[in-house]
Amino acid sequence: MKKLGKEFFSRDTEIVARELLGKVIVVNGKKARIVETEAYLGEKDPASYASKGENKVSKMMIQDPGRILVYNVHMYKMLNFVTDTFGKAGAVLIRAVEPLNFNARCNGPGLLTLGLGISDDFHGRSVLEAINLFDDEFELGEIVEGFRIGVTKDLDKPMRFYIKDNAHVSRK
DNA sequence: GCCTCGATTGACT
DNA sequence: GTCAATCGAGGCA
């Protein structure tokens, strides 16, 4: 299996979000396949924290790519990967994964962090060190584009990507 | 310190 | 479809 490096994340957020589908994430000895992602862009994206000035999340979004970004919404943690180049805000939210060597519900951004044991400790650390991502040449089905879920102000462009007919994709 | 809000989820009508 | 649990961050004083 090929391990994903920093260069994978040093590209447009949208491209990274799309190509993250089907990749294998390994953390805490647990393996899961990514089946759903969303792209969050810079200042021009009203749903992105980067459009709300400087804060914990946006400061991480402009860091160098390949970092892990964790934040809270209600009582749940969200797992994101920082994308694009240093100084340019961008991040991909992992919305759903398919568990491979363990058993837990992971069909939602708040649930997969629970299932994988992601905590605030991961915030700011490198994808190359705290988490491993692999490309195992998985045969993707059709990729579906859609609008983001749960955001109050979305763009007029689809920023959500998921694998068609995958049972582990989050709700509706 | 106090108040509000949210990139959520699950239970309910 | 509606609603509440529950908590960190941000705004304000």
- Distance between CA atoms of A41 and A19, rounded to whole angstroms? 16
Distance of C1' in B9 from CA in A167, Å: 18
The length of chain A in residues reads 172
- Distance between CA atoms of A20 and A36, rounded to whole angstroms? 8
Q: Which nucleotides of B are covered by protein (CB under 7 A)?
A: 6-10
What are the DSSP E strand ranges found in chain A?
2-3, 24-27, 30-40, 68-73, 76-82, 91-99, 132-135, 143-146, 160-163
The tens digit of pLDDT for each residue in A66-84 reads: 999 999 999 999 999 999 9
**Which is it for strands A160-163 and A30-40: parallel, antiparallel or unpaired?**
antiparallel
**Residue A170's pLDDT band (cuts 50, 70, 90):** confident
**Residue A5's pLDDT band (cuts 50, 70, 90):** very high
Question: Environment class of residue A152 by beta-carbon count within 10 Å: exposed (0-12), middle (13-18) or buried (19+)?
Answer: exposed
Question: What protein residues sit with their CB closer than 7 Å to strand C?
Answer: A 53, 55-56, 71-72, 74-75
Beta-carbon contacts of residue A120 (< 8 Å; ≥ 6 apart) = A70, A77
The tens digit of pLDDT for each residue in A99-110 reads: 999 999 999 999
The nucleotide closest to A148 (CA, C1' atoms): B7
Here the tokens at position A54 are 């400087």
Q: Which nucleotides of C are covered by protein (CB under 7 A)?
A: 5-11
Q: Distances from the Cα of A11 to the Cαs of A58, A88, A90, A153, A156, in angstroms?
A: 18, 11, 10, 24, 22
Distance of C1' in C1 from CA in A170, Å: 19
The nucleotide closest to A69 (CA, C1' atoms): B7
The residue lying closest to nucleotide B7, measuring its CA against C1', is A151
Distance of C1' in B4 from CA in A110, Å: 22
Q: Distances from the Cα of A98 to the Cαs of A80, A102, A104, A170, A171, in angstroms?
A: 16, 10, 9, 11, 14
Helices and strands (H, E) in chain A, number of each type: 4, 9
pLDDT value at A172 more than 70 = no
pTM for this predicted structure: 0.95
Q: Cβ(A70)–Cβ(A80) under 8 Å?
A: yes
